[in-house]
Amino acid sequence: MAFELFGEQGYEQVPVEAIAAAAGVSRATFFNYFPQKDLLLREIAQARAGRLKSILSEVRTGAAPPTLESVLALVLKLCRENARISFFSKKLIAETMFSQASRGILLPARDHAVEVLTESLNAVVGSSPKSRLFAETLFAVYLGTMFEWLLRDSVAENWLVDTMRDRLEPLFEALR
């Protein structure tokens, strides 16, 4: 609910009373859970980091062994989901990502993603020290492309997914 309000009106413009009313709780109850309004961004950030872990766990729990195509498909799935939720506000997603970085949520999520990607790549191409470097590079391209997309005011509807695919496919091709 708060995410939608922030997306519609902007984070700074939404008073705590409006968030509490949308959630059907009193202002006091809101402050019992969130002593400061900005802690909501942390909650949103943790939910996004959890979603990243959930999507990446599909690689680990899939019926078939991972392939380069399945790893790429998961990254693009996350991009599609980010593009879908940007309906509310790309600015809010940017604020949330910066909040993740400044509050120490992004780094553990990145570490988990790199770990899962490294395991998946080892399963695809055989165990190699380069798998970790490749996984780190893949995540850096993902994060850089996400930030670029968030900073652009006007882009085509599929810009994020298409650009991510264009940037990652040569990396995956180098592993073949």
CATH code for the domain in which residue 90 is found: 1.10.357
Residues 58 and 16 in one domain: no
Residues 28 and 45 in one domain: no
CA separation (Å) from 55 to 75, 80, 85, 122, 159?
Answer: 8, 12, 16, 18, 21
CA separation (Å) from 89 to 4, 17, 113, 150?
Answer: 8, 21, 25, 9
- Sign, CA torsion 158/159/162/164: negative
Residues 73 and 22 in one domain: no
Least confident of 136-145, 148-157, 158-167: 148-157
Domain that holds residue 11: 1-37
CATH of the domain at 31: 1.10.10.60
Residues 92 and 23 in one domain: no
Q: What is the pLDDT of residue 75?
A: 82
38-90 per-position pLDDT tens digit: 777 777 766 766 776 677 677 667 667 677 787 788 888 888 877 777 655 67
List the structure tokens of 64: 């078939």
Q: What is the pLDDT of residue 166?
A: 95
The answer to whether 119 and 60 are in contact (CB under 8 A) is yes
Average pLDDT, the chain: 79
Residues 27 and 103 in one domain: no
Question: Domain total for the chain?
Answer: 2
Residues 1 and 59 in one domain: no
The answer to whether 144 and 164 are in contact (CB under 8 A) is no
Residues 3 and 84 in one domain: no
Report the run of H or E that residue 55 belongs to, with start and end: helix 39-61
List the structure tokens of 158: 């599929």
3-44 per-position pLDDT tens digit: 677 767 777 788 889 989 988 999 999 889 888 887 777 777
pTM: 0.69
pLDDT mean over 88-97: 69
